Amino acid sequence: MSLHLDDLRRYAIARSLFKPTTLMRAITRMGFVQADPIRAPARAQDLTLRHRVSGYRAGELERRYPRLALEEDFFVNYGFLPRATQALLHPRQARLQWPAQRQQQALQLRAHVAAQGVVHPRDVAAAFDHGKVVTWFGGNAHATTELLDGMHYRGMLRVAGREGGTRLYALHLDELAANAMALEQRLEALVQLIAQVYAPLPLASFTQLVGYLANGGPQWKAACRVAGKRVWSQLGQATVDGVSWGWPADEAPASKRWQHDGQVRLLAPFDPVVWDRRRFELFWGWRYRFEAYTPAAKRQLGYYAMPLLWRGQVIGWGNLTVRDGQLQAQLQYVAGKAPADAAYAQALAAELAAMGDFLGLGAAA
């Protein structure tokens, strides 16, 4: 059976937007949920999970995280993943090695965390006078906060939870540095996860994601290339319209099981369905860009444009805000106007009502 772009598009949507389930089962099935601190109208991780978790409400992941077998860490981006998967990321090294003084400070701070159990960066800054540092975006931060972040990246600490969005730190439940699996095996498992999370993928996108994974440590680059080639060779593959595609070998993109529904969905900018901008343009024929960090005068879609999915097509986007306790939606369409279809109007109203419930608000205006 020949494979068409419509098959791949339908498959990509249906396999990712599965029937809603419990929070832990959804994250386990997804494999990874990218995080972002911007609330417009909610954080990206919440906007992603609302489509996949039954009765999900904004902030639920943060509230329930301390009781679930989840971890925050950097995979191909920063986000949430099952604890067993996070263990595959460690031990790892940062690109810049700490000088002896910094290493000593990290050991002292680790002992402090061990004694306290769970620490807030504010309290650590009060206990240790390490001064200030300039952050990557030009601001100032406590050196202890940067040190906590570096220790977390290196597997010396874990995120135990959050308080008002701020990460709280603790020692790991198990020593990640004791991971006995060989690096090559760990990286191959992680590359397989890339294929699982984002399939179907164009080869160029798969290669790019493997490169993101290689940023995990300076010693990973060559091994990631090898793992990427090995995993790609094991995937189901096809060339469609001159583009090489790959997906988990036990799945059939042309199967009739992959069917879109009649729901309208406003998707987060980092939702797996729209994350790969290369694939997005191949699937839907227009360029989507995340413009929150673009100067306002240069934005074309809006501060936090959420792709609008209906009947297997991304037909436009929406910018959502909350004012006076009500959700307000500004929608724009690729065709210049909304579909002249009563079913669409009804499905859109249901999606905006569901968004309001998710946010704990009234009806959309």
Q: What DSSP letter does each residue of 272-327 carry, written as one string?
A: TTT--HHHHHHHHSS-----TTS-GGG-SS-TT-EEEEETTEEEEEEEEEEETTEE
Q: Which residue has the higher pLDDT, 263 or 129?
A: 263
- What mean pLDDT do residues 277-284 have? 98
> Could you state, in order of their start, the residue ranges of all structural domains in the chain?
1-90+179-365, 100-176
Mean pLDDT of the chain, nearest integer: 92
Cis preceding linkage at 248, omega within 30: no
Query: Structure pTM?
Result: 0.92
Judged against a pLDDT cut of 60, whether residue 240 lies above it is answered with yes
Collapsed DSSP state (helix, strand, coil) of residue 168: strand
Overall fold of domain 100-176? Arc Repressor Mutant, subunit A (1.10.10)
The span from the CA of 129 to the CA of 134, in Å, is 16
Judged against a pLDDT cut of 70, whether residue 136 lies above it is answered with no
Q: What is the predicted pLDDT for the residue at 302?
A: 97
pLDDT confidence of 142, banded at 50, 70, 90? confident
pLDDT confidence of 230, banded at 50, 70, 90? very high
pLDDT confidence of 96, banded at 50, 70, 90? confident
